[in-house]
Structure 1
Amino acid sequence: MAAAAVTGGAIHFGVLGGLGRAHEGNASGAAGKGGDLPPATTTVVRTDLVQSKTIDGRLDFAQRRPVKSAVDGTVTVAAPEGRTLTMGQALYELNDKPVTLLYGPVPMFREMKPGDRGSDVLQLERNLRDLGYGAGLYVDTRYGKDTEAAVKRWQKSLNREPTGRVGKGDVVFQPGQVKVVSADAALADQVAPGEPVLTIASTRPVVRARLDQTDGALTDPGTKVEVTLPSGKTVPGRVAGTVRPEPGGSGEGAAAQEGIVVEVVLDGGARAASGEDAKAPASVKFVSEARKGVLAVPVEAVLALRGENGGYGLQVVQGTSTRTIPVETGMTADGQIEVSGPHVREGMTVGMAAS
């Protein structure tokens, strides 16, 4: 079946009557000959009609969020934009000491020291074990002597003073590996507690696009889309949800803030976006409605019937004669309109206005 591309929404009956040709009668099957032949003809086809909306988007990464300093200090090193960081690597350095990425769902909310207990201690011990500093370490929720010893071994490897304690500003816990999106503090900047140093995201590629407020139905999680990446490659995806607009982004302003920003996950994950230019635009095609296997004709083939019953019809051409049949109209797309009724058949030749 041929799939029709979308050029807009449904044509209202009043507009359809203006585009079609007015025809006298009630479409009861009246026939005409000779001079009644239309100036052009077309064929009733069975096809797929799809309504969609294509908008600009940009390639990005999911779960974008800032990394804020927990303590006062001077930024002496920051990971460069675009770098992917894993457990044990430094996100940045403050006062010439690394602030290390560790994995875990619990944020660093306190200094950890011998005698402490909690889920944050448990995730610290898991990281120490996985980084190779867990010899003799029993992984549990208690910060014991074995934890202290493992922390000291780890601190020596980082050229930190081996205190056996982990300060609030020493590590940043994140769910997994991260990608550096931007540096929010420049080299040698003084930062205070709570000030952003970096913006990071997950390594899962997404496309963000801004829809109008009236397009709320397209923002439902799971809505299927088709994404054309900067290279021209087209990949399928789906809406993951909406995200808060980013202040200071391109096109920001009062008008831009009125839209809805959706985040689209690409099928194929990181492979789908490999090698793509994240600074170049992408386009996202949202499918709002689809009708598969329906009978359709060009909009210009539909007659606006006059008379007591009104409605719409088609002028069926058979040799040198014609007859008018009533039809119900449905969805429109790409200049075609869905038609149905007991007298409509695939392959029929019908009249239409001259192009």
Structure 2
Amino acid sequence: MKHRTGFLVGGAAVAAAALGAGALAYGGGGDGAGDGRDDPPPATATITRADLVQSKTVDGKIDFAQRRAVKSAVAGTVTVAAREGATVTRGQALYERDDKPVTLLYGPVPAFREMKVGARGSDVLQLERNLVALGYGSGLYVDPRFDGATKAAVQQWQKSLNRTPTGRVGQGDVVFQPEQVTVVGADAALADQVGPDTVVLTVASSRPVVRAELDQGDASLTAHGTRVEVTLPSGADRRGRVTGTVRPEGSPEAAPQDGITVEVTLDGGASAVSGEDTRATASVKFVSESRENVLTVPVEAIVALRGPDGGYGLQVIEGATSRMVRVETGMTADGRIEVRGGQIKEGLTVGVATE
């Protein structure tokens, strides 16, 4: 995996590093104003206004959030396999087992038993809410009790699915998920034998994300809300934010990880990746800090001031003479450093050290 990094260290450290590369050291310890020296610098540059951004860029892949496996609750044969890439909503079949649809319903509680008259619980409450949402709730009072009205609604629903209207919902007839899902993997093929230990399909949220891997040392970039800029395989640029980290599939809970897999949600939702090749690589830039419209100079222009006050300065060039001006330094990016001071402004020429 390629890591293209744009991170730079803080202003003071950069200035010190620049000295090692040939930057000037000036002996004045006062305010450094107007010394009138005629010594020409090795090179010059102009103070400019710019936006500075500290970032790290890595490769990423378009994916969907919250991947999870769906297993068959009972043994049987796959007679219609799941369709990879399909978006499945409430009341639609995820796949068919023994020539009967296994239907998606919404709710956080898994379907863990047969539901029939006399049953009580949160699973029954979920079922009744779904029956109402699907249009089979006439005369149904939504509560945790499976009663005669629930049975009648279930029978109507079963008839619409061409199932035998038993009025009971067998274990394995439905799969509860929090919302609509995207089928990201059809794990069981047509005619495969499946059971409680068999993954039939893998689903995820229909919310598209971009997944990228960062080094453990970049943990600060994985914070929820970190700003991200993504260049998609088509070349389109999208903005987004870090919305979480995920454990790589198949990794044991306690296994040490070389990197951190980050999940980025793009602005614009599903439309942001419409038509993109999900097998191709995207470029993901994590922005850790930025400064807008600040005065900047090349880092090699920073001069370490000797004396009791120390600090940093710029050699301002004025015609055939120059003067040293004390400045405060800020963040750095792409070889430039933010500078502040009452005696500097955009457009001034400053000396720059060379190797």
- So what's the TM-score if we normalise by structure 1? 0.88
C-alpha contact 2:22 2:354 (8 A) present in aligned 1: no
Find the counterpart in structure 2 of residue 19 from structure 1: 21
| Deviation for aligned residue 1:48 | 2.2
Separation in 2 of the partners of 1:224 and 1:41? 35
Q: Structure 2: how far apart are the matches of 1:133 and 1:155? A: 10
C-alpha distance in structure 2 between counterparts of 1:300 and 1:138, whole Å: 76
| CA distance, structure 2, for counterparts of residue 192 and residue 233 of structure 1 | 44
Q: CA deviation at 1:308?
A: 6.7
Runs of 4 or more consecutive aligned structure 1 residues displaced over 6 Å after TM superposition: none
Residues of 1 paired with 2:340 and 2:135: CA distance? 71
Paired residue secondary structure (2:37): strand
CA distance in 1 between counterparts of 2:270 and 2:217 reads 31
- Counterpart Cα distance in 1 of 2:354 and 2:139: 88
Look up the match of 2:214.
Answer: 211
User: What SS does the aligned partner of 1:160 have?
Assistant: coil
- In structure 2, the CA distance between the partners of 1:114 and 1:308, relative to structure 1 (3 Å rule), is closer
Per-residue deviation, residues 110-164 of structure 1 (Å, max 9, x unmatched) = 1101011222212212222332333443333221112212222322333333221
Residues 1:31 and 2:30 are matched in the alignment: no
Deviations 1:211-265 (A, max 9, x none): 11111111111111111111111111111111111238xxxxx99x321111111
Report the more deviating stretch, 185-194 or 112-121: 185-194
Summarize deviations over 1:258-281 as a string: whole Å, max 9, x none.
211111111111111111111111
Give the structure 1 partner of residue 280 of structure 2: 280
Is contact 1:302-1:313 (8 Å) kept?
yes
Structure 2 CA distance, aligned partners of 1:23 and 1:162?
89
Q: Give the Cα–Cα distance (whole angstroms) in 1 for the partners of residues 98 and 178 of structure 2.
A: 26
Change (3 A) 1:330 1:16: farther
Letter paired with 1:350: V
Q: Does the 8 A contact of 1:76 with 1:94 survive in 2? A: yes
**Secondary structure in structure 2 of the residue aligned to 1:238:** strand
Matched AA of 1:292: E
Q: Partner of 1:251 in structure 2?
A: none
How far apart are residue 90 of structure 1 and its match? 1.0
8 A contact 1:26–1:309 mirrored in 2: no
- 2:77 aligned with 1:78, yes or no? no
Tell me, yes or no, if the aligned pair for 1:26 and 1:308 is still in contact at 8 Å: no
CA contact (8 A) 1:210 1:261 kept: yes
* Match in the other structure for 1:3: none
User: Residue 342 of structure 1: CA displacement?
Assistant: 4.2
Partner of 1:152: 155
Q: How does 1:41-190 map to 2 (within 5 A)?
A: 41-190=44-193
User: C-alpha displacement at 1:169, in angstroms?
Assistant: 0.7
Report the CA distance between 1:338 and its aligned residue: 1.7
- Once residues 88 and 325 of structure 1 are traced to their aligned partners in structure 2, the CA distance between those partners, rounded to angstroms, is 73
1:9-39 CA deviation, whole Å, 9 max, x = no partner? Answer: 1262432212342345226443222xx2224
- Cα distance in structure 2, aligned partners of 1:43 and 1:349: 5
Could you list the runs of 5+ residues in structure 2 that have no partner in the other structure? none
Q: Structure 2: how far apart are the matches of 1:137 and 1:306?
A: 85
State the distance in 1 between where 2:90 and 2:272 align. Answer: 25
1:21-72 per-residue CA deviation (whole Å, 9 max, x = no partner) reads: 2345226443222xx2224321112332110111111111111111111111
- The answer on whether the counterparts of 1:22 and 1:306 sit within 8 Å (CA) in structure 2 is no
Q: Cα offset for 1:346? A: 2.9
Sequence identity (%): 67
Flag the 1:132–1:342 CA change in 2: closer, same or farther, 3 A: closer
What is the match of residue 7 of structure 1? Answer: 6
1:31 counterpart SS class = coil
In 2, the alpha carbon distance for the partners of 1:317 and 1:275 equals 54
- Match of 2:318? 318
Deviation at 1:205, TM superposition (A): 0.9
Whole-angstrom distance in 1 between the partners of 2:300 and 2:218: 29
Q: Distance in 1 between matches of 2:138 and 2:321?
A: 94
Cα distance in 2 for partners of 1:334, 1:218 equals 19
